[in-house]
């Protein structure tokens, strides 16, 4: 039997189209002020039903209130992250919403994760103002399914990490140079489908609701 | 046995319900795309860039595929090559068998449709479950997608409710879209909880970083590529692009052209299996690169532009033929204008050449294509390949559509129109004997009255009004 | 392009045989503007039917006949965006790499669609002598896309003071003519024509105009079948006219 790889490549090489220079692809970016980036991000995300609230150090309490209003019984989070520690310290004691540190590999907590988890918390690398997207960069501490399986997903975003466009983001952060994680992700709103009569329905497979807690700092203090 | 194209056309045109469902969706998608590109200049710049990026990738395809393979392997992704759909199917089966998987959960993938993967696996004792909501609905009725991005648009909510009721009697009957979606979610969650293997397509494969990019709204694609032990991605060899920074322009062209969205809910960039210490993600990621006729298409300087396609479906949404027939009438995996160009090349003009005729060449498809594939010109080219006598191109089935009667007609037509005096004589005679003209002119007069020849031709009128004839 | 002293007129085979009054109206309009109109008696068909059916060699032979008939360096005015598109956009491709390439390219540069010529080159400002009239304008796909002259027809009608011009629902959509398409895929073509005819009827306009005779034959024939009773008052279906006929009718001294 012939080697399919060699056969395909040799057929492709049989034609010699003239080499072309890499097409020009200037970085799409906008000189928006930090305030404008935040407000555009907020607007774009709201358009796809993502909720944005501005917070400070009390963000765990805001998250708590949001979860309580939705009847959540528990929250899964990544304990080894800074966010995880802040969450643990500020979480109201003895209350109805149980914190579930996510430490085990999916193989041993699959059932818990899929059947018994109401909400997941993650951080993010930053966000994109133009499209209202969150940039997630799952890691050893913060696994991929945390942002996908629970019906509610909350994300903490630092306002200074909002860039104007995806293009600007990946170039400015030199994704190619630093190397990509196993699963870089853009998330723009809760899960949805329009497969039935082109009518939007939310929470098809992923979260039904998405909350972004935006921490403002220095440049933005008192801005909103 | 699938009936002949004209029969399918009649069936499609006779089905009022399907026609209504499809028309409604197409009108909606056309409007959404229109609103998504408010700035014509920006659209023109983007389309040009999209064309150049994809054209560049095709011009360097073998090198980029090797680079992709190298970088994928460096990332721990196992790369396989398949010349044919059968080879691709066998590769997928072998991977699944090695893991003892009797179930594979699938994200939406047109390439897997092209391979006929589900039926193949079924015959091998492996169940393939579609998890995209639209595909899930279709699989319950063993139907094929009628559109590449909105697969179940030919169905309305009542039909879907009835189908769910028949398959899942344990759930209360509902025609509510949120309710139907919730039922599907619960059923599929069970599969996600236990499947060992997941399968997906690929929207763009980035050579520079060895990254597989997938876009979707539901999250089923992420689940299929994250929750199981093994992830298999099937990908046409043309999907490669050179650089990571080429993703943003292509993504925005894709999602805005397809559904009018600035971006999909999820943009998933996979660069390898689970790494040391990570808590989830598949232990193995496999990339199956499928040729299945693409390298042959690549060999033709004009037709290779077919391979620029990023599968947005805009050509279908804007096609007056597609929006009346729907996808099933085409009888192929890829319907509409891109289907009329791609499928006859993949399967041969002898089998599917007729699809190239299923266009009025109105140009709507070419006008909206985000990577500026000259679809009308390619349709015309394939018509010419179908009737061309001499060999020379690599199009399968070249010359197979030559019919003696047609050749005779066009030869006569040429004679009449190539000799002005003959032309004038005949048109003059025709107009004088116009009372002899039949009232029934074959297909034309089935729904139209016959055109009447004028008493005097323009040639005569121009002469008698004193216009110089040179 | 500046206003020329003389132009060629390419009547198109369809107008020649079926709608010669439209061609004559167009030539009269041009002559009235002080332009010498030359109608080469050697002209036949642009070749598009064969070309769109894939019979390139046959199309080329016939197209060459037009290269001969319109050889002088003056504009060629064409009362059809479809045939104009064939000559302007497709001839250079059809003759690429042949000895006639240069001639084909030269002819392509000289081809102007009629409404574009009137609106843009002549900046024609007519006085409307007609009674108030509601007109529905159907733009051919070639006018919209291949030639990009759809604005011209709209403009011209807007310059006639007593006209109310409307476009049918789904105006951008093809009427289903497509040359040989109507014969090769009659059912699809008929479905498209039926929808277009219904959209036209829904406007309630008294007259249907277009810059392309092919669309008019298709739509006129379909309208006639859909509402055969033309004698009824008011007529349920619009009269069908080439735009040149309408423009001439409303602007000349009778």
What's chain C's length in residues? 254
Residues of chain B neighbouring C21 (CB-CB closer than 8 A): 454
Question: In which band, very low, low, confident or very high, does the pLDDT at C236 lie, cut at 50, 70 and 90?
Answer: confident
> How is residue C249 written in tokens?
């009718």
Query: What are the beta bridge partners of residue B263?
Result: none
Q: What is the pLDDT of residues C119-163, one digit of tens each?
A: 999 999 999 999 999 999 999 999 999 999 999 999 999 999 999
Integer-rounded Cα Rg, in Å, for chain C is 18
b/e sequence C136-159, b meaning 16+ C-beta within 10 Å: bbbbbbbbbbbbebbebbbbbbeb
Q: How far is CA B418 from CA A36, A45, B430, C20, C61, in A?
A: 67, 64, 17, 21, 6
List the single best residue of B52, B55, B204, B226 to mutate versus A (max A Cβ within 10 A). Answer: B226
> How is residue C57 written in tokens?
């060699």
Q: What are phi and psi of B198, to 5 degrees?
A: -125, 150
CA distance to partner chain A, nearest, from residue B433 (Å): 55
Which chains, if any, share at least 3 CB pairs under 8 A with chain B?
A, C
> What is the SS3 string spanning A49-87?
CEEEEEECCCHHHHHHHHHHHCCCCEEEECCCCHHHHHH
Q: Say how far apart CA A23 and CA C181 lie, in whole Å.
A: 38
Mean pLDDT value across chain A: 93
Q: Say how far apart CA A8 and CA B83 lie, in whole Å.
A: 7
Residues of chain C neighbouring B384 (CB-CB closer than 8 A): 54-56
Which of C65, C74, C79 has its CA nearest to residue C114? C79
Q: Is residue A222 predicted with pLDDT exceeding 60?
A: no
List the single best residue of A204, A207, A208, A212 to mutate versus B (max B Cβ within 10 A). Answer: A204
- In chain B, the domains with their CATH numbers are 1-36+304-391 (1.10.1060), 60-292 (3.40.50.10420), 404-464 (no CATH)
CA dihedral B285, B112, B241, B41 (to 10 degrees): -130
Choose among A5, A130, A175: nearest Cβ to B81. A5
Query: Checking phi first, is residue C148 left (phi over 0); if not, alpha (psi -120 to 50) or beta?
Result: left
Q: What is the pLDDT of residues A31-83, one digit of tens each?
A: 999 999 999 999 999 999 999 999 998 999 999 999 999 999 999 999 999 99
Residue with tokens 């609230």: A53
Residue ranges, CATH 3.40.50, chain C: 6-120, 126-251
Superfamily of domain A32-193+201-217: NagB/RpiA/CoA transferase-like (3.40.50.10420)
pLDDT (0 to 100) of residue B433? 78
CATH code given to domain C6-120: 3.40.50
In this prediction, residues A114-140 reach a mean pLDDT of 96
Count CB atoms within 10 A of the CB of residue C102: 11
In this prediction, residues C87-105 reach a mean pLDDT of 98
Which chains, if any, share at least 3 CB pairs under 8 A with chain C?
B
Residue of B nearest to C50 (CA): B410
Q: Say how far apart CA B195 and CA B200 lie, in whole Å.
A: 14
Q: What are phi and psi of B425, to 5 degrees?
A: -60, -45
| Yes or no, beta carbons of A17 and B242 under 8 Å apart | no
Query: What are the beta bridge partners of residue A183?
Result: B270
Concatenate the DSSP letters of all residues of B25-37 into one string: HHHHHHHHHHHH-
Q: Say how far apart CA A120 and CA A83 lie, in whole Å.
A: 12
Domain locations in chain A?
32-193+201-217
Do A168 and B107 meet the contact criterion of CB atoms below 8 Å apart?
no
Residues of chain C neighbouring B355 (CB-CB closer than 8 A): none
3-state SS class at B216 = strand
Q: How far is CA B366 from CA B47, B369, B377, in A?
A: 11, 5, 9
| Yes or no, beta carbons of A192 and B280 under 8 Å apart | no
Do C115 and C79 meet the contact criterion of CB atoms below 8 Å apart?
no
Do B129 and B103 meet the contact criterion of CB atoms below 8 Å apart?
yes
Q: What number is the ipTM of this complex?
A: 0.96
> What is the SS3 string spanning A153-182?
EEEEEEHHHEECCHHHHHHHCCHHHHCCCC
CB distance from C176 to chain B under 8 Å? yes
Do C15 and C80 meet the contact criterion of CB atoms below 8 Å apart?
yes
Residue of B nearest to C197 (CA): B448
Q: Say how far apart CA C32 and CA B178 lie, in whole Å.
A: 67
Q: Is residue A224 predicted with pLDDT exceeding 60?
A: no
Question: In which band, very low, low, confident or very high, does the pLDDT at C233 lie, cut at 50, 70 and 90?
Answer: low
- Helices C56-69 and C101-110 cross at an angle (nearest 10°) of 60
| Yes or no, beta carbons of C54 and B10 under 8 Å apart | no
Burial of C99 (0-12, 13-18, 19+ CB in 10 A): exposed
Q: Say how far apart CA C179 and CA C213 lie, in whole Å.
A: 11
Query: DSSP state, A134?
Result: E
Concatenate the DSSP letters of all residues of chain C into one string: -PPPSEEEE---HHHHHT-HHHHHHHHHHHHHTT-EEE--TT----SHHHHHTT-HHHHHHHHHHHHHHT-SSS-EEES-HHHHHIIIIIHHHHTTTSTTHHHHHHHHHHEEEHHHIIIIIS-------SPPEEEEEE--HIIIIIS--HHHHHHHHHTSTTEEEE--TTTTS--S-TTTHHHHSHHHHHHHHHHHHHHHHHHT-SEEEES-HHHHHHHHHHHHHH---TTSSS-SS-EEEEHHHHHHHHHS--
- Helices B247-259 and B16-36 cross at an angle (nearest 10°) of 140
> How is residue B211 written in tokens?
């990254």
Question: In which band, very low, low, confident or very high, does the pLDDT at A1 lie, cut at 50, 70 and 90?
Answer: low
Q: Beta B204-206 vs B230-236: how paired, if at all?
A: unpaired
| Yes or no, beta carbons of B360 and C69 under 8 Å apart | no
Class of domain C126-251: alpha beta
Q: What angle do CA B408, B414, B419 make, to 5 degrees?
A: 135
**Run of H or E residues at A214:** strand A209-215
Give all strands of the β-sheet with B127-130 in edge-to-edge order.
B77-82, B284-290, B230-236, B197-200, B103-106, B127-130
| Yes or no, beta carbons of C44 and B417 under 8 Å apart | yes
pLDDT (0 to 100) of residue B1? 46
Q: How far is CA B432 from CA B152, B419, C213, in A?
A: 55, 20, 21
> What is the SS3 string spanning C44-107?
CCCCHHHHHCCCHHHHHHHHHHHHHHCCCCCCEEECCHHHHHHHHHHHHHHCCCCCCHHHHHHH
Choose among B131, B242, B247: nearest Cβ to A22. B242
Residue of C nearest to B317 (CA): C173
Q: What are phi and psi of C27, to 5 degrees?
A: -70, -35
Residues of chain B neighbouring C218 (CB-CB closer than 8 A): 448
**Would you give per-residue pLDDT tens digits along chain B (470 residues)?**
456 899 999 999 999 999 999 999 999 999 999 999 999 999 999 999 999 999 999 999 999 999 999 999 999 999 999 999 999 999 999 999 999 999 999 999 999 999 999 999 999 999 999 999 999 999 999 999 999 999 999 999 999 999 999 999 999 999 999 999 999 999 998 888 889 999 999 999 999 999 999 999 999 999 999 999 999 999 999 999 999 999 999 999 999 999 999 999 999 999 999 999 999 999 999 999 999 999 999 999 999 999 999 999 999 999 999 999 999 999 999 999 999 999 999 999 999 999 999 999 999 999 999 999 999 999 999 999 999 876 677 899 999 999 999 999 999 999 999 999 999 999 888 777 777 777 777 888 888 988 889 999 999 999 999 999 98
**Residues 6 or more apart in contact with residue C232 via CB below 8 angstroms:** none
> How is residue A23 written in tokens?
């097409």
Count CB atoms within 10 A of the CB of residue A12: 22
> How is residue C24 written in tokens?
């004559």
Question: In which band, very low, low, confident or very high, does the pLDDT at A221 lie, cut at 50, 70 and 90?
Answer: very low
Q: Say how far apart CA A103 and CA A125 lie, in whole Å.
A: 21
Q: Is residue A218 predicted with pLDDT exceeding 70?
A: no
Do C252 and C215 meet the contact criterion of CB atoms below 8 Å apart?
no
| Yes or no, beta carbons of B363 and C190 under 8 Å apart | no
pLDDT (0 to 100) of residue A2? 72
Which of B197, B188, B198, B202 has its CA nearest to residue B267? B202
b/e sequence B16-49, b meaning 16+ C-beta within 10 Å: eebbebbbebbebbbebbeebbeeeeebeebbeb
């Amino acid at each position: 039997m012939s080697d399919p790889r060699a056969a395909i490549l040799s057929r492709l090489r049989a034609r010699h189209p003239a080499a072309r220079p890499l097409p020009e692809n200037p970085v799409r970016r906008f000189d928006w002020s930090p305030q404008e980036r935040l407000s555009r991000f907020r607007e774009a995300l709201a358009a796809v039903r993502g909720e944005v609230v501005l917070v400070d150090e009390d963000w765990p309490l805001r998250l708590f209130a949001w979860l309580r209003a939705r009847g959540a019984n528990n929250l899964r989070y990544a304990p080894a992250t800074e966010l995880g520690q802040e969450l643990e310290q500020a979480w109201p004691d003895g209350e109805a919403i149980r914190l579930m540190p996510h430490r085990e590999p999916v193989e041993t907590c699959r059932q818990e994760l899929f059947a018994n988890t109401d909400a997941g918390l993650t951080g993010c690398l930053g966000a994109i103002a133009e499209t209202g997207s969150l940039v997630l960069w799952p890691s050893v501490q913060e696994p991929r399914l945390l942002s996908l399986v629970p019906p509610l997903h909350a994300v903490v975003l630092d306002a200074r990490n909002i860039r104007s466009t995806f293009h600007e983001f990946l170039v400015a952060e030199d994704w190619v140079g630093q190397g990509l994680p196993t699963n870089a992700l853009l998330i723009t709103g809760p899960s949805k489908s329009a497969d039935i009569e082109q009518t939007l329905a939310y929470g098809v497979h992923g979260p039904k609701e998405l909350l972004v807690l935006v921490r403002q700092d220095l440049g933005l203090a008192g801005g909103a | 046995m699938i009936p002949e194209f004209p029969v399918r056309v009649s069936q499609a045109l006779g089905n009022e319900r399907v026609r209504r469902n499809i028309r409604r969706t197409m009108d909606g998608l056309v409007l959404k795309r229109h609103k998504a590109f408010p700035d014509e200049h920006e659209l023109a710049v983007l389309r040009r860039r999209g064309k150049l990026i994809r054209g560049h990738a095709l011009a360097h395809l073998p090198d980029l595929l090797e680079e992709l393979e190298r970088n994928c392997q460096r990332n721990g992704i196992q790369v396989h090559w398949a010349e044919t759909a059968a080879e691709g199917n066998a590769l997928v089966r072998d991977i699944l068998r090695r893991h003892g998987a009797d179930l594979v959960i699938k994200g939406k993938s047109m390439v897997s449709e092209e391979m006929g993967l589900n039926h193949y696996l079924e015959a091998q004792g492996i169940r393939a479950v579609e998890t995209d909501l639209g595909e899930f609905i279709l699989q319950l009725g063993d139907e094929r997608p009628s559109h590449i991005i909105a697969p179940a648009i030919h169905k309305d909510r009542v039909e879907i409710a009835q189908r769910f009721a028949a398959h899942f009697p344990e759930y209360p009957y509902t025609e509510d879209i949120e309710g139907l979606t919730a039922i599907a979610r619960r059923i599929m969650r069970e599969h996600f909880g236990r499947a060992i293997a997941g399968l997906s397509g690929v929207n763009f494969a980035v050579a520079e970083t060895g990254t597989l990019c997938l876009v979707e709204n539901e999250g089923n694609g992420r689940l299929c590529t994250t929750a199981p032990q093994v992830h298999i991605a099937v990908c046409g060899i043309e999907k490669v692009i050179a650089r990571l920074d080429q993703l943003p322009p292509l993504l925005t062209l894709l999602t805005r052209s397809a559904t009018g969205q600035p971006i999909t809910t999820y943009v998933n960039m996979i660069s390898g299996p689970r790494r040391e210490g990570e808590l989830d993600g598949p232990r193995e990621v496999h990339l199956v690169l499928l040729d299945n006729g693409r390298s042959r298409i690549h060999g033709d300087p004009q037709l290779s532009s077919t391979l620029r396609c990023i599968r947005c479906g805009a050509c279908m949404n804007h096609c007056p033929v597609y929006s009346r027939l729907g996808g099933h009438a085409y009888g192929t995996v890829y319907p509409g204008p891109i289907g009329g160009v791609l499928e006859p090349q993949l399967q041969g003009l002898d089998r599917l050449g007729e699809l190239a005729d299923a266009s009025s060449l109105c140009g709507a498809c070419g006008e909206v294509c985000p990577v500026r594939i000259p679809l009308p010109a390619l349709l015309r080219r394939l018509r010419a390949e179908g009737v061309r006598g001499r060999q020379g191109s690599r199009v399968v089935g070249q010359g197979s559509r030559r019919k003696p009667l047609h050749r005779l007609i066009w030869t006569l037509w040429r004679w009449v129109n190539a000799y002005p005096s003959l032309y004038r004589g005949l048109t003059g005679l025709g107009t004088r004997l116009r009372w002899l003209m039949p009232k029934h002119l074959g297909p034309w007069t089935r729904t139209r009255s016959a055109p009447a020849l004028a008493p005097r031709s323009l040639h005569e009128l121009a002469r008698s009004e004193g216009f110089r004839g040179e | 392009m500046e206003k020329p002293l003389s132009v060629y007129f390419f009547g198109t085979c369809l107008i020649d045989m079926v709608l010669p009054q439209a061609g004559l109206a167009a030539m009269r309009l041009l002559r009235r503007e002080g332009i010498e109109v030359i109608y080469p008696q050697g002209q036949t068909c642009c070749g598009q039917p064969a070309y769109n059916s894939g019979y390139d060699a046959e199309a080329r032979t016939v197209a060459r006949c037009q290269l001969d008939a319109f050889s002088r360096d003056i504009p060629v005015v064409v009362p059809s965006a479809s045939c104009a598109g064939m000559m302007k956009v497709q001839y250079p491709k059809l003759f690429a790499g042949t000895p006639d390439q240069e001639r084909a390219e030269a002819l392509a540069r000289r081809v102007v669609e009629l409404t574009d010529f009137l609106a843009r080159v002549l900046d024609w400002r007519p006085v409307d002598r007609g009674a108030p009239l509601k007109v529905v304008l159907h733009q051919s796909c070639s006018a919209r896309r291949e030639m990009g002259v759809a604005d011209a027809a709209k403009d011209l009608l807007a310059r006639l003071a007593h006209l109310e011009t409307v476009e049918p629902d789904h105006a951008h959509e093809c009427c289903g003519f497509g040359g040989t398409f109507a014969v090769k895929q009659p059912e699809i073509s008929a479905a498209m024509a039926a929808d277009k005819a219904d959209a036209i009827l829904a406007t309630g306009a008294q007259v249907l105009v277009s810059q392309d005779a092919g669309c008019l034959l298709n739509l006129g024939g379909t309208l006639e079948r859909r509402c055969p009773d033309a004698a009824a008052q008011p007529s349920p279906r619009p009269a069908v006219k080439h735009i040149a006929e309408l423009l001439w009718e409303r602007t000349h001294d009778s």
